[in-house]
């Protein structure tokens, strides 16, 4: 099969349909449903084969298209003349979406404050100066930091069978206790003092678990800076 | 007052957010609104003529000094700030809110054909969109609208300054 597929990033099923209409130079008021449906489904197949998560919305639209197609196949009787074209609702939706897509592009061409124009004192409020403006961290940056910590452990560590079973909830409680006392801890406060790999892993898992439960938050002032951990809610 | 223009200039320069006429009137009790407007107009013109980096613009119901857009490459270099960035998805959601407000989440989703929880949350956090209230229909859904900050960020005097939305041709008429 010799067709070429250019996979743009679509903003949703309507965006994909508009793209197909434009690509095929189709009159939006007279959409050849059979052709469009076929191409639409091809795109979804490609997305699936690329292991992209095809959102439910795309599938809903696929079924809508197939439904319209099947309706068009039914013979039209004279007495149903008043009935609206099954494509009408879809065309209306596409036109409305197109108008807002354009509006969004227009908005983007305006002089945005903080991008194209700046006001006095802009730096003051936004520059990341030291400890005050901290950025919330994602799990990935934490994992990166963890890798650094682990790499510091002496590689010739003698492995021994861990008799003392570690418990995750115990580590979580310990971290919470320390945080309650000290209010803020750095990532290396918690991990740096440990020389035991297992204990480090447990501590790291405990931090992740506490973040997931939203009881603690991790912040960083600048890339590769110190990671600070706070209680999410102060009591 | 001879130095009215200078006083207005000073007030606008120092203010954090755009300064409205009402505020200036309150501060300059004995001065007529007309004169203040004249002073502002003169200032706008003077800054324009000066050909410098600054201009006095009317945004979000007030006046504010800003750098002109052709200086942004240098200013962005100077700072370690991340320039304001709004994704295409967020921009689409914002456009629907801006033009259709007051609007429910379900209406935005109908137009865009996708779930907008994420983009809407981001816009709320950026303070470009706010919850206006709840609609008096079953389920009492939240209705959304744009904020004053939206006007400020997008360089708009008020909502009527939004570029007109392309006419939607009604079908079957």
Q: What is the DSSP string of B81-129?
A: SPPP---HHHHHHHHHHHHH-SEEHHHHHHHHSS--HHHHHHHHHTTSE
**What is the Cα Rg of chain B in Å?**
20
Look at residue A6 and tell me if it is in a domain: no
**For range A161-175, the mean pLDDT:** 76
Residues of B in CB contact (< 8 Å) with A are 13, 16, 64-69, 72, 75, 78-81, 83-86, 88-89, 91-92, 94-96, 98-99, 110-115, 152-156, 163, 165-166, 168-169, 171-172
pLDDT score of A139 more than 80: no
Element (H, E) at A54: none
pLDDT tens digit sequence for B55-113 = 999 998 899 999 898 888 888 777 555 677 888 889 999 999 999 989 999 999 999 99
- pLDDT score recorded for residue A126: 47
Q: Which of A108, A139, A165 is a domain's end point? A: A108
Strand partners, A135: A220
pLDDT tens digit sequence for A187-218 = 888 887 666 777 788 888 888 888 888 888 88
Q: Which fold has domain B4-71?
A: Arc Repressor Mutant, subunit A (1.10.10)
For residues A86 and A131, membership in a common domain is answered with no
Say if CB A18 and CB A98 are below 8 A apart. yes
For residues A171 and A199, membership in a common domain is answered with yes
The nearest CA of chain A is from the CA of B124 a distance in Å of: 17
Q: What is the mean pLDDT of chain A?
A: 78
Which segment of A65-74, B74-83, B147-156 scores lowest on mean pLDDT? B74-83
State both tokens at B79: 């700072």
Which one of B64, B81, B148 makes the best mutation probe of the A interface by having the most chain A beta carbons within 10 Å? Answer: B81
Helix, strand and coil percent figures for chain B, each rounded to 5: 50, 15, 35
Chain A, chain B: beta-carbon pairs less than 8 Å apart:
126
If one compares A165 and A177, the residue with the highest pLDDT of the two is A177
Minimum-distance CB partner of B83 among A14, A100, A114: A114
For residues A143 and A224, membership in a common domain is answered with yes
How many structural domains does chain A have? Answer: 2
Q: Which of A55, A85, A108 is a domain's end point? A: A108
Which segment of A40-44, A90-94, A214-218, B46-50 scores lowest on mean pLDDT? A214-218
Buried b (16+ CB within 10 A) or exposed e, B141-152: eebbbbbbbbbb
Look at residue A147 and tell me if it is in a domain: yes
Report phi then psi at A84, rounded to 5: -80, 155
Answering whether pTM is above 0.90, one says: no
3-state SS string for B30-59: CCCHHHHHHHHHHHHHHHHHHCCCEEEEEE
Minimum-distance CB partner of A119 among B65, B112, B172: B65
The nearest CA of chain A is from the CA of B133 a distance in Å of: 24
The nearest CA of chain B is from the CA of A222 a distance in Å of: 10
| Vertex A39 angle, CA A33 and A45, to 5° | 135
- pLDDT score recorded for residue B111: 93
Any idea what DSSP says for residue B22? H
Dist CA A116 CA B10 (whole Å): 24
**For range B117-144, the mean pLDDT:** 90
Look at residue A116 and tell me if it is in a domain: no
- pLDDT score recorded for residue A181: 85
- Determine contact: A180 vs chain B, CB below 8 A: no
What residue numbers bound the domain in which A199 lies?
122-231
Work out the number of other CB atoms within 10 angstroms of the CB of residue B98: 24
- pLDDT score recorded for residue A52: 65
Look at residue A4 and tell me if it is in a domain: no
Minimum-distance CB partner of A91 among B13, B81, B171: B171
pLDDT score of B154 more than 70: yes
Domain with CATH 1.10.10.10 in chain B: 4-71, 88-161
A163: left (phi over 0), alpha (psi -120 to 50) or beta: alpha
- pLDDT score recorded for residue A146: 75
Is the bond leading into B111 cis (omega within 30 degrees of zero)?
A: no
pLDDT tens digit sequence for A3-58 = 544 455 688 899 999 989 988 898 888 889 989 999 999 888 887 777 666 778 88
pLDDT score of B170 more than 80: no
pLDDT score of B168 more than 80: no
The nearest CA of chain B is from the CA of A129 a distance in Å of: 9
For residues A138 and A74, membership in a common domain is answered with no
Work out the number of other CB atoms within 10 angstroms of the CB of residue A77: 8
Say if CB A207 and CB A175 are below 8 A apart. yes
- pLDDT score recorded for residue A235: 46
Which segment of A90-94, A104-108, A129-133 scores lowest on mean pLDDT? A129-133
Dist CA B109 CA B116 (whole Å): 6
CATH number of B88-161: 1.10.10.10
Percent of chain A with pLDDT over 90: 15
Q: How confident is the model at residue A160 (pLDDT cuts 50, 70, 90)?
A: low
- Determine contact: A100 vs chain B, CB below 8 A: yes
Chain A environment of B110 (Cβ under 8 Å):
93
For residues A52 and A83, membership in a common domain is answered with yes
Q: How confident is the model at residue A77 (pLDDT cuts 50, 70, 90)?
A: low
Instruction: Supply the ipTM of this predicted assembly.
Output: 0.78
Q: Which of A53, A77, A108 is a domain's end point? A: A108
Q: How confident is the model at residue A115 (pLDDT cuts 50, 70, 90)?
A: confident
For residues A193 and A220, membership in a common domain is answered with yes
- pLDDT score recorded for residue A207: 87
Look at residue A158 and tell me if it is in a domain: yes
**What is the Cα Rg of chain A in Å?**
28
The nearest CA of chain B is from the CA of A62 a distance in Å of: 12
For residues A58 and A137, membership in a common domain is answered with no
């Amino acid at each position: 099969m010799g067709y070429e597929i250019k996979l743009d990033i679509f903003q949703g099923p309507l965006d994909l349909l508009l793209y197909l209409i434009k690509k095929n130079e189709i009159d939006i008021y007279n959409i050849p449903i059979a052709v469009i449906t076929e191409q639409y489904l091809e795109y979804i197949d490609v997305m699936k084969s690329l292991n992209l998560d095809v959102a439910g919305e795309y599938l809903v639209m696929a079924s809508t298209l197939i439904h319209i197609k099947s309706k068009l196949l039914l013979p039209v009787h004279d007495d149903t003349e008043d009935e609206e074209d099954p494509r009408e609702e879809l065309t209306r939706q596409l036109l409305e979406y197109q108008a807002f897509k354009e509006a969004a592009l227009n908005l983007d061409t305006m002089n945005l404050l903080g991008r194209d124009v700046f006001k006095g004192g802009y730096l003051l409020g936004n520059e990341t100066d030291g400890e005050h403006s901290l950025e919330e961290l994602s799990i990935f940056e934490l994992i990166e930091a963890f890798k650094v910590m682990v790499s510091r452990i002496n590689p010739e560590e003698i492995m021994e069978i861990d008799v003392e079973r570690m418990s995750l909830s115990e580590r979580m409680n310990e971290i919470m206790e320390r945080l309650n006392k000290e209010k803020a801890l750095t990532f290396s406060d918690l991990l740096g003092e440990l020389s035991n790999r297992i204990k480090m892993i447990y501590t790291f898992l405990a931090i992740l678990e506490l973040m997931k439960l939203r009881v603690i938050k991790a912040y960083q002032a600048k890339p590769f800076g110190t990671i600070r951990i706070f209680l999410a809610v102060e009591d | 007052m001879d130095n009215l223009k200078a006083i207005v200039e000073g007030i606008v320069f120092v203010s954090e957010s755009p300064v409205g006429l009402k505020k200036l009137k309150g501060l300059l009790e004995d001065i007529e609104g007309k004169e203040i407007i004249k002073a502002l107009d003169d200032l706008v013109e003077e800054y324009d003529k000066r050909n410098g980096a600054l201009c006095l613009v009317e945004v979000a119901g007030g006046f504010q000094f800003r750098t002109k857009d052709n200086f942004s490459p240098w200013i962005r270099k100077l700072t370690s700030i991340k320039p304001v960035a709004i994704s295409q998805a967020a921009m689409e959601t914002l456009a629907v809110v801006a033009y259709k407000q007051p609007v429910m989440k379900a209406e935005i989703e109908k137009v865009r054909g996708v779930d907008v929880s994420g983009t809407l949350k981001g816009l709320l956090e950026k303070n470009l969109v706010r919850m206006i209230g709840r609609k008096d229909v079953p389920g009492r859904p939240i209705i959304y609208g744009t904020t004053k900050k939206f006007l400020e960020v997008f360089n708009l005097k008020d909502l009527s300054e939004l570029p007109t939305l392309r006419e939607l041709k009604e079908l079957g008429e």
